[in-house]
Chains A and B, each alone.
Chain A
Amino acid sequence: MSERMRVRLWRLAILIVLVGSWEWLTGIKAVSRTPGLYWIDPFFVSRPSLIAKRFMHLASDQVRLSIWQMALSTVQSTLWGFAVGVSTGFAAGLVLGRNDRLARILEPYIIAFNSLPRIALVPLITMIFGFGLLAKVVLAWTIVFFIVFFNTFQGARSVDADLVHAARFLGGTDRQIMRTVIVPSALAWTFASLTPSISFALIGVVVGEFLGGESGGGLGYLIIQSLGTLNAADMMVALISLGVIGIVLALGIRQIEMRLLRWRPEYRKRS
């Protein structure tokens, strides 16, 4: 058996044990014949069989807002927040990374804003941008922007001076050197921030959805709604869906990263 297979089998085994004991333990009563008293109470943690049933229900067209619509809304907002955050963060990082004075002037403001817990902004952002997609995107943006900004900033500053000299001797103008040396060099750093960025974009969106109400839709809304009805099974459906979305998005970004950074030896070996 190959090492790869063995690792996969172990993973599968762990999953089966976890789900199996979850199902089993939440079925044992603490005191016989006393209803509702469990060692592990499915009221709080639900049960896999129950979750599956709720999922089928939420995925059917018997509900007003299906799980698919909610997932789509969450993914859409995440990708928008990611795209806007990455592009603005990259541009700002590049400009400030190549302009020492501007960077020095703006430093305290950037640090101050970045130190602010972003969750504290949710009510304000909701007040300004309402309950829809826009508020969620803005919230994701405030997080992603800084991650990408700091990475690109570092990257733009640490461009090898000899590469710039070499380009100048080859006859490059400032603009040409920006395009052919500084941007690609900084991009390597930017790419390293993309995987955490997509995860944080998802966090921002879900937090936005907590407050967003039904018009914003999304899996965050399902969680809050389930809290209101004390429905652990629905909450688990939302959480598992978020987990799957998080993994798929991160893997997608990783693929793009590997493709774009294929000139780096550490990426080539793995692909």
Chain B
Amino acid sequence: MRRARIVVRDLTKTFREDGREVAAVQGATFAVHEQEFVAIVGPSGCGKSTILNMIGGLIAPSSGVIEIDGAPLAGPAPPQVGYVFQKDTVFPWRTVTRNIALGLEYRGVPAAEVQRRVREAVELAGLTGFEEAFPATLSGGMRQRVALMRTLVVEPQILLMDEPFGALDTHTKINLHAELLALWETRHQTVVFVTHDLSEAITLADRIVVMTRRPGRVKLVHEVTLARPRDVIALRESEAYAHEYSALWHVLGEELAEPAR
């Protein structure tokens, strides 16, 4: 068994809403191992993003423990963690290049080295020709590529992704899946990927954590047995994929079907 990089134990988060305590996440427990790609899926409002925010140190848990590389998390996440937000968080006043360069600039990387790595990242993301463009002129898919490359260029070992492709159309999304997997194959970062899209989770992940409706509990941890490297297009036509999908759909469907109280 590979070493656990993220351990989540008995994690609970309650929010005050209209004067009463509402549990968003209740007693979630799971681990993410070295070089593993884990997806968290669940119906909307199940607290999956809340879990990711807690792992990223953006919000504090009400109770429970998060350990990153063996160290209990208190406050901001350690430097080996990168985060890709659901919302578009590219800096609108910086060009594509300068957006991608930002993390390297923060770290005091010499200018020549910054230039080289940014150029590489621009090429990898297929953003050639848009180096000096401002984000407002780019499509949603391109902006999210910038956000992704900006995070990857500082080479985080742990990557937290909060529905990064949620706002994109299916076609763009599938392209980005292919690109993300290609990038991941070269570095094998430890990834936690939150999504409500089951096919996205199956396409990308080694393991899938299925959450219940609110208050979110871990309903099931499912091992995806599809071989790697994966071809995102061909994959969808394969019987193995269909098999995974129907098994998980059944489990997730129970959560979706239950009437809201």
Whether A170 lies near B136 (C-beta < 8 A) is no
> Which listed segment binds B: A199-207, A237-245, A250-258, A263-271?
A263-271
- Give the residue name and chain of the B residue nearest to A160 (CB): B89
Whether A170 lies near B89 (C-beta < 8 A) is no
Tell me the total A-B contact number using a CB cutoff of 8 A: 63
- Give the residue name and chain of the B residue nearest to A172 (CB): B106
> Which listed segment binds B: A114-122, A137-145, A161-169?
A161-169
Interface size classification for chain A = 20 to 34
Whether B93 lies near A163 (C-beta < 8 A) is no
**A167 to B134 alpha-carbon distance, docked (Å):** 18
* Shortest beta-carbon contacts, A-B, top 6: A170-B103, A166-B89, A263-B134, A265-B136, A169-B83, A171-B106
Interface membership of A60, Cβ < 8 A: no
Q: Which residues of B contact A264 (CB under 8 A)?
A: 92, 136
Whether A262 lies near B85 (C-beta < 8 A) is no
**A172 to B91 alpha-carbon distance, docked (Å):** 14
Known pairs A166-B147, A184-B93 / 5 extra A-B pairs, C-beta < 8 Å: A169-B56, A170-B151, A263-B135, A264-B92, A265-B136
Contact partner of B91 among A169, A171, A181, A265, CB < 8 A? A181
Interface residues of A (CB under 8 A from B): 160, 162-163, 165-173, 176, 180-181, 184-185, 188, 262-265, 268
Q: Please, how many residues of chain B have a CB less than 8 angstroms from a CB on the other chain?
A: 28
**A79 to B103 alpha-carbon distance, docked (Å):** 38
- Centre residue among B83, B93, B105, B134 by max chain A CB count within 10 A: B93
Whether A163 lies near B136 (C-beta < 8 A) is no
Whether B106 lies near A263 (C-beta < 8 A) is no
**A119 to B89 alpha-carbon distance, docked (Å):** 45
24 A–B contacts from the bound complex (CB under 8 Å): A160-B89, A162-B87, A163-B91, A165-B83, A165-B85, A165-B89, A166-B83, A166-B85, A166-B147, A167-B102, A169-B82, A169-B151, A170-B102, A170-B154, A171-B103, A171-B106, A180-B91, A180-B105, A180-B106, A262-B134, A263-B92, A263-B94, A265-B137, A268-B137
